[in-house]
Amino acid sequence: MNYKNTIAAAGIMGLLAVALGAFGAHALKPTLLANNRLSIYELAVQYQFYHTFALLAIALLMRNKESRHLQVASVFMFMGIVCFSGSLYILALTNTGWLGVVTPLGGVCFLVGWGCLVINALRH
C-alpha cells in the first residue's frame, strides 16, 4: 500500500477498533460474559489497536520516503488485523472453533509486517 492507502487503512481500523470495543463493552458484554468469551473479544480489540498504531507509524514513515519494505509492512499489518482480530471477533461471537486456525495466520502476518519494518530501518 502507498502512503494514502496506509493512512486511510489506519483511520478505518482505528475507527472500527473504537466502535467494536465500545459495542463489546456495552451491547455484547452480557452475552460474551455468559459464554466465557469476553477475554477473546478484548484480545481482538487490543491487537487491532496495537497494529492500527503500527499502521499509522508506517504511514508517517512513508510520508517522508516510501520504500518497498514499508509498503509490504503495511499490507501485512492490515492483513494481520483482518485475520487475527477478525477471526477472534467471529470466534467470540459465534464460537465457531475452526476459525481458530485463521488466528495464527494473522499472527504470522504481524510478524512479517514487523520484520519488514526492521529491514527498512536497517537499510535506510
Question: For residue range 58-71, what is the model confidence (pLDDT) as tens digits?
Answer: 999 999 887 999 99
pLDDT at 43: 95
Nearest to 10 by CA among 57, 42, 46: 57
CA angle 62, 105, 4 (to 5 degrees): 20
Residue 9 has pLDDT above 90, yes or no: yes
Question: For residue range 30-53, what is the model confidence (pLDDT) as tens digits?
Answer: 888 888 889 999 999 999 999 999
pLDDT band at residue 115 under the 50/70/90 scheme: very high
Q: Which three cell numbers stand for residue 76?
A: 501485512
Nearest to 62 by CA among 73, 51, 52: 73
Q: CA-CA distance, 79 to 94, in Å (whole number)?
A: 21
CA 98 to chain centre: 20
SS (H, E, C) 70-103: HHHHHHHHHHHHHHHHHHHHHHHHHCCHHHHHHH
Residue with more model confidence, 96 or 79: 79
